[in-house]
Structure 1
Amino acid sequence: MPPTFNNHANGLRPDLASMLKDLHPKFLRFPGGCFVEGQESPDNAFRWERTIGPIEQRPGHKNVNWGYRTSDGIGFDEYLQLAEDLGAKPLYVVNVGIWHGGMTPLDSIQPWIDETMNALEYANGPITSKYGALRAKNGHPEPYNIEYLEIGNENNQPDPTQQSDHYYERFKMFKDAVLAKYPNMHIIGNVAAWGTDDPTWDSKESVELVDEHYYRSPAWFADNFNKYDTYSRDGHKIYVGEYAVTQGYGNHGSLNAALGEAVYMMGMERNSDVVKMASYAPIFANVNDLKWRPDMIQFDGTSAFGTPSYYVQKVMADNIGTRVLPTTLHNSYSDITAQQAVKPEICKVGVGTWGTQASFTQQQIHGGNITTTADPATKDQQRGEWKESNGVSSQTSDTEGAMKMEPTLIKGNEYTYNVRARKDKGAEGFLVVFNYVDPDNYCWLNIGGWGNTQNAIEQIINGSKAQVATAAGHVEDGKWYDVSVHVKGDSVYASLDGKQLFAVQLKPTTFAGLFSNATMDENTGEVIVKVVNTTGMNTTAKINLNGKTATAATVIRLASAKGTDENSLEDPTKVYPTQQTLSPSGNSVEVALPGSSLNIIRIK
């Protein structure tokens, strides 16, 4: 057996576990995620009692959600031991009798409740109890002391067919059983995990914390810097249990992605009276078998690297104050970006789909001031499986983000793109692409998106996606629709069957600006100011302190030459934190803010 973290007999790779410990986590949420629920069968869920004891005797189970069989070599006891080794509180997520594709009826879920109670006895019970004795037999006589329990994972969608049958009733049954024996347990409930940016707890049943999940773009996270400012200060608190940039992140995870997350984290920190807990997800991935992107620690058989998101998590955790301070930010970029033109000088148009099959015909481009020339690179920009028949172009796969661009370059400030479109099969509608420059810079009209419930104009700049406008919308299978997109400078007019859907102005950027917050570490007397510059422009900031003379200051900075820069196994520290001493003057400190940077200034 090779060396392991803390020399445990069934331990973790020292390099990977050490990277996790360097984040100084306050808690560890386990075992998932969708891994909790499983798919196809309850036998494919995480059943804790099958994951303890000698490794060679563990049956393992089929991890259908992520496409492999797991040996359960890291089981319930190993997760608890890891939390202890990290100095983190264990947060256990339990199955409420629901798996992907099936469920135990509400009136038959007592065995699942019993399973939860047995797990808690294993973790918390005395060695005189049945499962406490089993814990001691497995080498840990002292209790692990689970204090946080999440009832279900993403099991409270409005649609009960989406792993969400009778959630509130299930929640109450689990909660009542747990609190009857462990009255000090912190109970976490589920709210809608997708399909909304504003999930709510729609039950009179009391809950201490609710778990919000957000996988979005850098622009979404930056746009939601103020999200928690308006949350009620009464009632339950928020646990952001899963969040990460999963749109416009590059290949492994870019600096831009990390900066979007940093802005959101600053907003959570500023509202820490409401947001009590937060955890990035997922953490680990083998680069030779990536099932999800991105993950903040990636590895192969011998080495590992942290993405820029990893280093955001690290420097933010290393610089937490104890009291939030009010701040006022004067941002000159708001005027500069407002003056920038959005319409590209040369662009293309095309069609696409998202996890759906659709057909297109009668595509026309016209306008009063355009010229067109064939572009030989168009075939290289095609994605998905496209077939041509009798003037109809059909995308026949379930590829997400399938595109087919017209072999035309459009020059000029105004044009109209008309196309007939038909949804053939699948959960979504179809896409009409315009202002296309390259795979990281374009716009599209999304008809019947989000499970065929919504229309939208979305704008992608440097890989960062944002919704410019949305409205409820639905399309029928097999019906042809006439779609028109008229672009005039930065204005876009979109219609469906002659009825205008949108008349909007595109943004000069979906992800630009300065964001800041401040806290005080009352133990050291230091003021900690965090500033994110999401623009590509270098600038300088002057931090003015009210009622405090600055005697010393340092800046911890995460930056790189470009916001799209990433780390990799070959270049693991391309984006890496640095530290610099500053020279304060009186009650102020000047600091450089490079383009695309997180800056944490500690002032004594």
Structure 2
Amino acid sequence: MSPSRALLGLVAAVVLVAATGGAAPVLAEAPAAAPDYTITVDPAATGPAIAGSMYGVFFEDINFAADGGLYAELVRNRSFEFLPADNTSYRGLTAWTPGGESGGTGSASTVNDADRLNERNRTYLKLALTSPDGGRYGVTNSGWNTGFAVRRGATYDFSLWARSDSPAGTPVTVVLRDAAGEPLAAPAELTVRGDGWTRYAVPVRASRTTDAGRLAVLAGGTGTLRLDMVSLMPRDTYKNHGLRRDLAEKIAALRPGFVRFPGGCLVNTGSHYGYDAASNFPRARSYQWKDTVGPVETRAANANFWGYHQSYGLGYYEYFQFSEDIGAMPLPVVPALVTGCGQNRATDDPALLQRHIQDTLDLIEFANGPASSQWGALRARMGHPAPFGLTHVAVGNEENLPDAYFANFLKFRDAIAARYPGITVVGNSGPDDQGATFDNLWAKNRAAGVAMVDEHYYNSPAWFLGNNRRYDGYDRAGPKVFLGEYASLDTKLFNSLSEASYMTGLERNADVVRMASYAPLLANIDNVQWRPDMIWFDNDESWGTTSYQMQKLFMNNVGDRVVPSRATGKVIEPKPITGAIGLSTWATAATYDDIAVTTPGGQVLFSDDFSGGAGQWTPVEPRGAWSVVDGGYRQSDTAALDTLVKAGNITATDYDLTLKATKQTGAEGFLVAFGVQESGELYWWNLGGWNNTQGAIQKGAGGSKEIVLAKPNSIAAGVTYDIRIEVRGTTVRLFLDGAEWGSFTDNQVTEPFAQVITHDDATGELIVKVVNAQDVPAVTTIDLGGRKVASRARMTVIAGDPQEQNTRSAEPIQPVTTTVGGIASTFTRTFAPNSVTFLRLRGTPS
């Protein structure tokens, strides 16, 4: 290393230390050496305007994000509706423990009969009390996870609906306790009188702090006491609208332009049990907004697609109210009655489809209609006489049946346009960033003149670093893009850096990409169905991931217009596909045999017919039951997911992998890997994936896998398939039983350096945004095209170890803001390794 380059590394290290909590960042002196990169502003061009709704948030009731999360209710299973239909482990008394105190006796059971609270709240608690001489008997709620959090001095509003057949009434004691049974507040008393359902309420003030609280509801005397909707709500919620303050404040701090809700997969798939058009009891049907409005005791319960119960205490009214509270545009998603998210079915009931279309029209009336209208009147009764100002509605989410979906979508769009022509109806392009479904749906959306199309994808950091220019070639006159879900599939800083790089491309193409929202917003650390997510929480704490900090930086510094600029500098060229080969299964038993890797000239690089056992193979993912059976290598555990064994180390750049594969039994087909690296990077040919409906080439990196190529495909059990994979550098051809199945070339250039410049009309500032997603500093000359700027600027940096992440115990990745000098119409800066830097430059008179 030359002395000058060593000095640059030292300066960059100082900046890096400052950005991660050390001394303040300092301006690096302009180096004598030529810069690694140049950024040049075009002085004559005008860039696209950036909408105020450019960046938003995506909320789905996944990872216990609503009940036990953003919705502040502390009682779990407050209406005793947790049932096996939601989750096989659930019962009516889930989270409740019956018991007596001071000699109190009785019995507790959940009942669904004619004495229910109402037709939508059917199950209630029945206490048979047998304590004539004192003592109390009742139930204790364990809350969410390890309990619930209470804070010393805070007030909590307890309420319940109850009825008693005791002529003298039934005394009820409300007690807050910790996990050891010690009191957290003075007991509260009330008396239930009369055998008709009545709501009772009493405040409770906590005298101690804990994150493991319990709620006991204890009754004295004899007779039958019926209870339902047992609630304990903090009085201190976000803007007094019933949402957990710390979570709502973190979301508000993002300053999102929109809120997409309520999903996600749970919208169009609803539950695992299909649609139910007739029953007034909404379990076993898709998410429907009318189930979620009105008084909470009349709202439906429903089975959640993610395997748990939804109380709908956080419903459509609350979504609209929260969007208004944080100054964001509401963007509801309604079911198209064509499933996505790995499922393939469409309703064939025209009446049911029409009912959902009418429900969507009613939803718009609920949001925007006058208080004199049917649904506007309900909104007014709930506390919001003024309209919410809804402008966009999305129909469907990640549908896998493009023809069925789009036929339904057009019916929705036509009905909405006829009644509400000012509403933008958003279509979608399926679950992936490319492939047959994506292309099909985009063609349909373009041909039909759809205003906006929702794209979704979750990919590796390498994909995001290699696809910064994705939207450069999109048709400027075609549908606009709503990037409704995207993320790099992990929670480390490097993932966030790759996302930041990609976001510079989103902003540069703001005339095409009008809105974008990251992956699911919230995750309860003890109940995770999906990751990554932006904000994590437990009972009393919450913390933003590295991507939260990155999204916040971008969302708080958007600007109003793109200032056209270009960057030049080094890129990372693609490498040939080399490495080990691998065998895998997913929920399937399969056998492999006669494996060989040869050069095009016939030289054998690897072979195994398992006549000598399986000693050449080592587990990468040690799951499943691998053994040699009847001369082949078999994985026999149909419950095992994501198994993987590997062998060999192919260093040749041109080779053929051949083998025989037989599915024995199970849900899917088989997977053949190649290019397997010690780092975890690999490719695999997934045949019979997605419940034996699709084949795909997937590229894995960092624990995630993105789809490179996909098409319909199924694998029959008991049939032996001949597989050949021809690798020529970065080009791969795939043959199944001698016929070419597909091919791809993975020659994407990786761009670790990315930038965009925007203008803030309110402040008159240029915002220079630079991403350096590599382990070396980036010496960069910035030419502002003759623009006059002040010599000092405000600089915000996020930087650190690319493998670092924010956790409950520590949040090391934080933005650091300082003032720096040395700014001019042309200046040079060294951007730290693995960093994102925002420079806000003030203009000066010419």
TM-score when scaled to structure 2?
A: 0.61
Which residue of structure 2 lines up, in the alignment, with residue 143 of structure 1?
387
Equivalent position to 1:351, from 546, 567, 583: 583
Hey, what's the Cα distance between the residues in 2 that align with 1:365 and 1:546? 56
User: How do residues 9-48 of structure 1 correspond to structure 2 at under 5 angstroms?
Assistant: 11-37=242-268, 38-39=270-271, 40-42=273-275, 43=282, 44-48=285-289
Q: Percent identity?
A: 35
Shift of 1:83: 0.7
Q: 1:136 to 1:455 in 2, by over 3 A?
A: closer
Hey, what's the Cα distance between the residues in 1 that align with 2:658 and 2:483? 42
Is residue 5–residue 18 contact of structure 1 (8 Å, CA) maintained in 2? no
User: How do residues 87-166 of structure 1 correspond to structure 2 at under 5 angstroms?
Assistant: 87-98=327-338, 101=345, 103=347, 105-106=349-350, 108-155=352-399, 157-158=401-402, 160=404, 164=405
Of 375-384 and 94-103, more deviation after overlay is shown by: 375-384
Which residue of structure 1 lines up, in the alignment, with residue 809 of structure 2?
570
Shift of 1:354: 4.6
Equivalent position to 2:550, from 309, 312, 336: 312
Which residue of structure 1 lines up, in the alignment, with residue 826 of structure 2?
588
Q: 1:570 to 1:391 in 2, by over 3 A?
A: farther
Hey, what's the Cα distance between the residues in 2 that align with 1:500 and 1:113? 43
- Is 1:237 the counterpart of 2:480 in the alignment? yes
Hey, what's the Cα distance between the residues in 2 that align with 1:550 and 1:421? 66
Q: 1:454 to 1:94 in 2, by over 3 A?
A: closer
Equivalent position to 2:781, from 510, 522, 542: 542
User: How do residues 263-278 of structure 1 correspond to structure 2 at under 5 angstroms?
Assistant: 263-278=501-516
Q: In the TM superposition, what whole-angstrom CA distance separates every residue of 1:44-77 from its partner, at most 9, and x where no partner exists?
A: 32222221233233231111x2001111110111
Hey, what's the Cα distance between the residues in 2 that align with 1:289 and 1:538? 39
Which residue of structure 1 lines up, in the alignment, with residue 560 of structure 2?
322
Of 174-183 and 270-279, more deviation after overlay is shown by: 174-183
Query: Larger RCO: Structure 1 or Structure 2 (Cα < 8 Å, ≥ 6 residues apart)?
Result: 2
Hey, what's the Cα distance between the residues in 2 that align with 1:592 and 1:424? 58
Q: In the TM superposition, what whole-angstrom CA distance separates every residue of 1:11-67 from its partner, at most 9, and x where no partner exists?
A: 11111111110110111111112222213233332222221233233231111x200
Which residue of structure 1 lines up, in the alignment, with residue 467 of structure 2?
224
Shift of 1:143: 1.9
Shift of 1:350: 2.6
User: How do residues 351-390 of structure 1 correspond to structure 2 at under 5 angstroms?
Assistant: 351-354=583-586, 356-363=588-595, 378-379=618-619, 381-390=621-630
Q: 1:487 to 1:41 in 2, by over 3 A?
A: closer
Hey, what's the Cα distance between the residues in 1 that align with 2:650 and 2:494? 30
Which residue of structure 2 lines up, in the alignment, with residue 300 of structure 1?
538
Q: 1:177 to 1:341 in 2, by over 3 A?
A: closer
Shift of 1:405: 2.8
Question: SS state of the match for residue 189, structure 1?
Answer: strand
Q: What is the aligned residue count?
A: 577
Which residue of structure 1 lines up, in the alignment, with residue 771 of structure 2?
532
Is residue 558–residue 576 contact of structure 1 (8 Å, CA) maintained in 2? yes
Question: SS state of the match for residue 316, structure 1?
Answer: helix
Which residue of structure 2 lines up, in the alignment, with residue 283 of structure 1?
521
Q: 1:74 to 1:500 in 2, by over 3 A?
A: closer
Question: SS state of the match for residue 565, structure 2?
Answer: coil
- Is 1:56 the counterpart of 2:297 in the alignment? yes
Of 414-423 and 205-214, more deviation after overlay is shown by: 414-423
Q: In the TM superposition, what whole-angstrom CA distance separates every residue of 1:359-413 from its partner, at most 9, and x where no partner exists?
A: 21244578788999x999945742344454223333343655321234xx65976
Shift of 1:113: 2.3
- Is 1:210 the counterpart of 2:448 in the alignment? no
Question: SS state of the match for residue 787, structure 2?
Answer: coil
Shift of 1:505: 8.6
Hey, what's the Cα distance between the residues in 2 that align with 1:201 and 1:459? 26
Equivalent position to 1:518, from 722, 735, 757: 757
- Is 1:440 the counterpart of 2:683 in the alignment? no
Shift of 1:512: 5.0
Shift of 1:555: 2.9
- Is 1:191 the counterpart of 2:191 in the alignment? no
Which letter maps to 2:247? L
Which letter maps to 1:215? Y
Is residue 562–residue 758 contact of structure 2 (8 Å, CA) maintained in 1? yes
Q: Rg: which structure is higher?
A: 2
Which residue of structure 2 lines up, in the alignment, with residue 402 of structure 1?
643
Hey, what's the Cα distance between the residues in 2 that align with 1:219 and 1:575? 21
Question: SS state of the match for residue 566, structure 2?
Answer: coil
Q: In the TM superposition, what whole-angstrom CA distance separates every residue of 1:149-184 from its partner, at most 9, and x where no partner exists?
A: 122333473364xxx3xx33x334333333333332
Question: SS state of the match for residue 302, structure 1?
Answer: coil
Q: 1:342 to 1:486 in 2, by over 3 A?
A: closer
Is residue 781–residue 827 contact of structure 2 (8 Å, CA) maintained in 1? yes
Q: In the TM superposition, what whole-angstrom CA distance separates every residue of 1:95-122 from its partner, at most 9, and x where no partner exists?
A: 2344565525235533222222222222
Q: In the TM superposition, what whole-angstrom CA distance separates every residue of 1:423-442 from its partner, at most 9, and x where no partner exists?
A: 44567643333453436234
Of 282-291 and 429-438, more deviation after overlay is shown by: 429-438
Which letter maps to 2:288? R
* Unpaired segments ≥5 residues, structure 2: 1-232, 276-281, 609-613
Question: SS state of the match for residue 537, structure 1?
Answer: coil
Question: SS state of the match for residue 383, structure 1?
Answer: coil
Which letter maps to 2:800? S
Hey, what's the Cα distance between the residues in 1 that align with 2:766 and 2:532? 33
Which letter maps to 1:105? D
TM-score when scaled to structure 1?
A: 0.84
Hey, what's the Cα distance between the residues in 1 that align with 2:709 and 2:334? 36
Q: In the TM superposition, what whole-angstrom CA distance separates every residue of 1:122-143 from its partner, at most 9, and x where no partner exists?
A: 2222222222222222222222
Hey, what's the Cα distance between the residues in 1 that align with 2:743 and 2:377? 68
Question: SS state of the match for residue 365, structure 2?
Answer: helix
Q: 1:459 to 1:178 in 2, by over 3 A?
A: closer
Q: In the TM superposition, what whole-angstrom CA distance separates every residue of 1:188-237 from its partner, at most 9, and x where no partner exists?
A: 12333336255514165442212222222222233221121111122432
Hey, what's the Cα distance between the residues in 2 that align with 1:221 and 1:233? 22
Q: In the TM superposition, what whole-angstrom CA distance separates every residue of 1:309-364 from its partner, at most 9, and x where no partner exists?
A: 21221111111122212222122244xx56x8975xxx644311355543212445
Higher helix proportion: 1
Q: 1:590 to 1:375 in 2, by over 3 A?
A: farther
Q: 1:54 to 1:578 in 2, by over 3 A?
A: same
Shift of 1:85: 0.9
Q: In the TM superposition, what whole-angstrom CA distance separates every residue of 1:455-489 from its partner, at most 9, and x where no partner exists?
A: 64x5545556567x758795752333444668899
Which residue of structure 2 lines up, in the alignment, with residue 200 of structure 1?
442
- Is 1:420 the counterpart of 2:652 in the alignment? no
Hey, what's the Cα distance between the residues in 2 that align with 1:80 and 1:89? 9
Is residue 501–residue 753 contact of structure 2 (8 Å, CA) maintained in 1? no
Question: SS state of the match for residue 426, structure 2?
Answer: strand
Hey, what's the Cα distance between the residues in 1 that align with 2:426 and 2:650? 55
Which residue of structure 1 lines up, in the alignment, with residue 326 of structure 2?
86
Hey, what's the Cα distance between the residues in 1 that align with 2:534 and 2:767? 25
Which letter maps to 1:479? V
Q: 1:55 to 1:493 in 2, by over 3 A?
A: closer
Hey, what's the Cα distance between the residues in 2 that align with 1:392 and 1:24? 58
Question: SS state of the match for residue 329, structure 1?
Answer: strand
Question: SS state of the match for residue 176, structure 1?
Answer: helix
